[in-house]
Amino acid sequence: MLLDLNHQSGLVYGRPPNRPTDGQVTARINAHVDAALVARNQRQQPRDYLGGSRVGDDCARKLVYEITHTAKDPGRDFDGSILRIFAAGHVFEELSIRWLRAAGFDLRDRGADGEQFGFVAAGGRLRGHADGVIVAGPDVGITWPALFEHKALGAKSWNDVVKRGLRQSKPIYFAQVQLYMAYFNLEVALLTALNRDSLALHHEVVPFDPAEAQRLSDRAVDILRAAAAGELPPRIAANADFFVCRFCPYAARCWGVSA
């Protein structure tokens, strides 16, 4: 039996009355998605330690705010768009790991207990979790084993890493791999950066720098001591207009100004 839909609702062509536009539907669905992501993020237990991935942040005062669970300025929590980027980063990491394994790299991202490789120091107040360790692989000019760290970056950020290298382009990430190499007793790291826009891959070999790792470890201790004593390290700048401060979620609290 053939369908005859020409007489339904009295319309043959055009949008039915009161039907929302695609833009309205998109906005409504995205509002629900982002609200769900924000709610899930708020339910997560906050860290009670300083993460190794954060030690390299320029502002020690900001890190004290973070580890003491100080409330961010109004409206400065992660919104749905940022949380979607974070979630996508985990998916891209899993994809890159599958590609590297298929290419013959023995990349371990979990220990025998099924958990991420990690380290604990300073009585549990300093911790880190590595993306993985490559224990063997093709001859590409690296001596295995090597720490594996993955970052999924937007095109502009990715291009800057390719051009200037991890240390200059992303000092926080550089500090992270140095600290991790120190605690995992590894002499080299492989940073894999994935371009979220083109899916291009860039790989950088990062040698261990003992002096830098020691500086970062000492800095972590200073930050933890300040937090335990209820003290705030000096501000990073002389005024609130400093570019780092303008993007800080604690700027209003730190400088005592209205958000």
| pLDDT tens figures, 150-192 | 999 999 999 999 999 999 999 999 999 999 999 999 999 999 9
Residue 9: per-residue pLDDT: 53
Q: Retrieve residue 6's tokens.
A: 């020409």
Residue 194: per-residue pLDDT: 98
pLDDT(60) > 80: yes
Q: Which residues contact 53 (CB under 8 A, 6 or more apart)?
A: 128, 172, 176
Q: Using the structure block, give the residue that is written with the tokens 């979607």.
A: 84
Give residue 8's pLDDT band: very low, low, confident or very high (50, 70, 90): low
For residue 77, which phi and psi values (nearest 5 degrees)?
A: -70, 165
> Where along the chain do its domains lie?
50-254
Q: Using the structure block, give the residue that is written with the tokens 């970056």.
A: 153
Residue 236: per-residue pLDDT: 94
Q: Which residues contact 20 (CB under 8 A, 6 or more apart)?
A: 28
The model's pLDDT over 79-138, given as tens digits with 9 standing for 90+, comes to: 989 999 999 999 999 999 999 999 999 999 988 788 888 999 999 999 999 999 999 999
Considering the chain, what percentage of its residues have pLDDT values greater than 90? 81
Q: What is the CATH number of domain 50-254?
A: 3.90.320.10
DSSP 167-183: HHH-HHHHHHHHHHHHH
Residue 206: per-residue pLDDT: 98
